[in-house]
Chain A
Amino acid sequence: MILVVAEQRDGKLNRATLETVAAAQALAGADPIKAVVLGQSVGASAQELADAVSEVLLVEHATLAVYTPDAFAAAVQQVVASVKPAYVLFPHTYQTRDFAPVAALRINGTLMTDVTGINGTGAGATFSRPMFQGKLSAEVRHQGDGPRCVTIQIGAFRADAVKRGNAGPVTPVAVDIDASTIRQTPEAPFKEAKQAVDLGQAERILAVGRGIKSQENIAIAERLAKAMAAEIAASRPICDSGWLPMDRQIGSSGQTVAPKLYVALGISGAIQHLVGMKGARTIVAINKDADAPIFEVADYGIVGDLFEIVPALVSELEK
């Protein structure tokens, strides 16, 4: 049996959780999959998963209302002790990175992080994980008899590939967590106002590179982004020059994204940029240099002057 540890915020599951369910379905073969939702008043999140797994375990407790590593590790430990899964899958998020190591230790499990691929199903499966910043991919398997814990890298599986069927049961599971054993006192969560964009969630991204030439020309790209209902993003030089805010930067020193559609406008495709977007499903590159490395990863490429092509695209899209 495979247990997926879902992650929700304010009662809403994140996309990484759905990707992890997709990974679980790839790994399961004929084995059943259960998901566990942790929190307080998060029944709606549990319902969201009911038709994708055979059973959703709903763990609600006052200590889980706000995330703390101690409470979440304790809850996972108790759930694992009662359902005894062969695999425990987590989305590879900041929250998982915070508490999964200690949870894995408590359940005497073996933790394999940052997994990007699964080969085979069930007990014989092996997993791919990147090494040397994605240059190498290692194929690894778990050792030991404890539960096999795996964290699934964002964008490695597709959220929309989750197979859904008849809704299974949502079963409340009681946990016993003593509030006095929680060593962290969380402050109210906050978001820095300027980091409002989460490009990781965007379905379409229009990214601008140095080919845009000047800050005034950003407006041309913004019109195309609006016409295709895409978030605007950029390669490093653009953000570095202050033409777009730094939180719109894609690549090794910015965000890693995996949208359905990625349009690279005047981006040459330095490896630092490619590692941040090569998980996109469809990549369209527009660049005047036919030898630019971006064309090596692009599904569709247009070699030409973006100042001619973009207005044409905009007028076509606006029709």
Chain B
Amino acid sequence: MSETLEVDVLIVGGGPAGLSAALRLAQLQKAGGGEPLSIAVLEKARDAGAHSLSGAVLDPSALRELIPDCEAKGAPFAVPVHRDHVYLLTEKSKLPFPIVPPPLQNHGHVIVSLNALVKWLAEQVEKEGIDLFTGFPGREVLFDGSRVAGVRTGERGIARDGSKKSEFEPGVDIHARVTIFCDGVRGNLTKEIVQRLDLANDKEPEQYAIGLKELWEIPEGRIEPGTVTHTLGYPLLQDQFGGGFIYAMPQRRISLGFVVGLDYHDPLFDPHMAFNRFKQHPFVASLLKDGSLIRYGAKALPEGGWNTIPRTYMDGGLIAGDAGGFLNSMRLKGIHLAMRTGMLAAEAAFESIRAGDTSAASLKRYQDKIDAGPVRAELYPVRNVHQAFGYGLLAGLMFSGLTLATGGRWFENLHGKPGHKRMKMLAWYYGLDVPASRTSNATTVDRKLTFDKVTNVHYSGTSHDEDQPSHLLVQTEVCSSICGPEYGHPCVRFCPANVYEIVREAGKPPRLQINASNCVHCKTCDIMDPYQVITWVPPEGGGGPQYNGM
């Protein structure tokens, strides 16, 4: 029998959305008075912010609304953006865009470490007396019929063979009048409720990308802090969505990364190798020369936009932030939308609880607030942009331009296809000439500029207790029988952390080895596996990356 805890509002996920929701609830409580609400925030990372990874250029509008004196309170803005560059990369050179497209103009925005921002937000939340349970993942949703009744946290102390270790602790059942799901991109709980309650049946399929990022320290004087650079083109092909970013921060640090749409066709493509190739481009390599890698990380991004957002309200529950897909892929920004939807979810939860009715009909006020305010105003006009890139880079760019010119007043919605279904089988993509190398875009790894995945994982600070069951539930019977011949085991390539490995021993069929303790919690495997046989569930609380400064 699990222990139980009763709260008024349970927030699952201590990222920008969840912490903004918590803080907004505390503010409403102060302003409105009345019986104080009990609030709990669950976070799977050992410390607030440890799993938070982003570029990141922050549009501070939502933060300033939530905490008007945020700068006086020490909000960790690394540096304001001074200058924007957008380049189209070819293999050896770069062509500047004649003008920086308006969505990529970052005047008034600031470069931040999302890890630092989340840590700081968590401090503000704790100052309000709200309990932040770090190291506790939400493992499953508790239902009362079709009503969301709360969440059960993960057990601790289960050995790899499933037996209970001496330090075993069962999960805790947290019952709440309203549960706000802020479990991030492809959140395991949001995935569960969307399926069970059929919240996405009339929506476009969600589209994702994977972002890989490194933090570097480079020699003095290379690039002025506050310079924001985005690139398109090399090393991606015309039909691959994505691009690079380089954000210059103070103290000789730069944040650089590469985003690849998880809808590429080539089953032998490896996003991590694309990142390595990006770093080998003369423009990037010259910036990094004699510098050193400090941190590495990877995270999926919800890129699908407005038409892919599931119904965000249900009996006893709300969805906010990346979990719902609130990200503007044209501006490459989602933190402010996560914060804003978190705040709106808090307002809706507060009003519904005060009205004594937390049914879906009452919580629908959350969707109304989204529709009436800046979230829809920002996302609706660009609702088709990502889908347009499904027709290639040029089509995507032209469409983006048209969207800007018309304000998105489009007659019809463009339809997308789930990214994992766009991956082609080896025979379809390569015909009879399947490359012998198992990675089509492999490049050299010198462990100075470019790294293998295992070395990169080391720099993500990832650690998990080895003696626990795998938190990646894989139906491995398809691996050697179907997936190998059809797709050549793409999990080995799309995972940025070497979790999946095909071990070939003489005289035996290839065997999938799951190095679960390498997992950086990016969720790419859950998204991109062509047979949808990988399910990501949270490992024992506290395990995962340590994204200090990311």
Contacts and interface: CB of A to CB of B under 8 A. Distances in A.
Contact of B463 (A246, A253, A270, A271): A253
Contact of B458 (A133, A136, A192, A213): A133
B177 to A, nearest CB: 38
B454 A272 contact: yes
A249 B292 CA distance: 29
A136 B217 CA distance: 12
A94 interface: no
B454 A214 contact: no
A253 B166 contact: no
Interface string A291-315: 0010000000000000000000000
B458 A253 contact: no
A240 B447 contact: no
A246 B454 CA distance: 20
Contacts of B467: 246
A252 B467 CA distance: 14
Interface string B211-242: 00000000000000000000000000000000
Interface string A241-267: 100001001001110000000000000
Contacts of A293: 447
A253 B454 contact: no
B459 interface: yes
A150 to B, nearest CB: 24
B71 interface: no
A253 B459 contact: no
Interface residues of B, number: 20
B166 A192 contact: yes
Given A135-B294, A240-B513, A246-B466, A252 B458 contact: yes
Nearest to A293: B447
B294 A132 contact: yes
Contacts of B455: 270-271
A67 B515 CA distance: 37
B517 interface: yes
A270 B454 CA distance: 7
A213 B461 contact: no
Given A132-B295, A240-B515, A249 B466 contact: yes
Interface in B455-473: 455, 457-459, 461, 463-464, 466-467
Interface string A122-161: 0000000000110110000000000000000000000000
A135 B463 contact: no
Nearest to B215: A132
Contact of A213 (B459, B463, B505, B548): B505
A240 B517 CA distance: 10
A215 to B, nearest CB: 10
Interface in B113-165: none
B507 to A, nearest CB: 10
A227 B71 CA distance: 66
Given A253-B517, A293-B447, A271 B466 contact: no
Contacts of A254: 466
Interface string B444-457: 00010000001101
Contacts of B466: 236, 239-240, 246, 249, 253-254
A20 B417 CA distance: 63
B452 to A, nearest CB: 8
Q: How large is the interface on A (under 10, 10 to 19, 20 to 34, 35 or more residues)?
A: 20 to 34
A252 B458 CA distance: 9
B446 to A, nearest CB: 11
Contacts of B294: 132, 135-136
Contacts of A133: 458-459, 461
Interface string B290-305: 0010110000000000
Contacts of A237: 513
A167 B515 CA distance: 53
Contacts of B457: 272
Nearest to B217: A136
Contacts of A241: 513
A135 B294 CA distance: 8
A252 B447 contact: no
B252 to A, nearest CB: 13
Interface string A196-228: 000000000000000001100000000000000
B458 A272 contact: yes
A272 to B, nearest CB: 5
Nearest to B467: A246
A35 B467 CA distance: 38
A80 B295 CA distance: 41
Contacts of A252: 458, 463
Given A133-B458, A252-B458, A270-B454, A214 B166 contact: no
A252 B548 CA distance: 18
Interface string B534-550: 00000000000000100
Contacts of A192: 166
Nearest to A275: B458
B506 to A, nearest CB: 8
Given A132-B295, A135-B459, A214 B505 contact: yes
Contacts of A132: 294-295, 459, 461, 548
Contacts of B295: 132
A246 B463 CA distance: 15
Contacts of A239: 466
A294 B400 CA distance: 50
Contacts of B513: 237, 240-241
Given A132-B294, A192-B166, A271 B458 contact: yes
Interface string B503-524: 0010000000101010000000
Interface string B267-302: 000000000000000000000000010110000000
Contacts of B447: 293
B517 A271 contact: no
A281 B178 CA distance: 59
B236 to A, nearest CB: 29
A196 to B, nearest CB: 16
A253 B548 CA distance: 19
A192 B457 CA distance: 31
A271 B454 contact: yes
A133 B462 CA distance: 10
Nearest to A247: B467
A159 B292 CA distance: 34
Interface in A168-209: 192
Contacts of A213: 505
Contacts of A271: 454-455, 458
Nearest to B451: A271
B30 to A, nearest CB: 35
Interface string A25-53: 00000000000000000000000000000
B423 to A, nearest CB: 28
A255 B454 CA distance: 18
23 contacts: A132-B294, A132-B461, A133-B459, A133-B461, A135-B459, A192-B166, A213-B505, A214-B505, A236-B515, A237-B513, A241-B513, A252-B458, A252-B463, A253-B463, A253-B464, A253-B517, A254-B466, A270-B455, A271-B454, A271-B458, A272-B454, A275-B458, A293-B447
Interface of A: 132-133, 135-136, 192, 213-214, 236-237, 239-241, 246, 249, 252-254, 270-272, 275, 293
Interface of B: 166, 292, 294-295, 447, 454-455, 457-459, 461, 463-464, 466-467, 505, 513, 515, 517, 548
Given A270-B455, A271-B454, A275-B458, 7 more contacts: A133-B459, A135-B292, A135-B459, A214-B505, A239-B466, A271-B455, A272-B454
Which A-B residue pairs are the 4 nearest by beta carbons? A271-B458, A270-B454, A271-B455, A253-B466
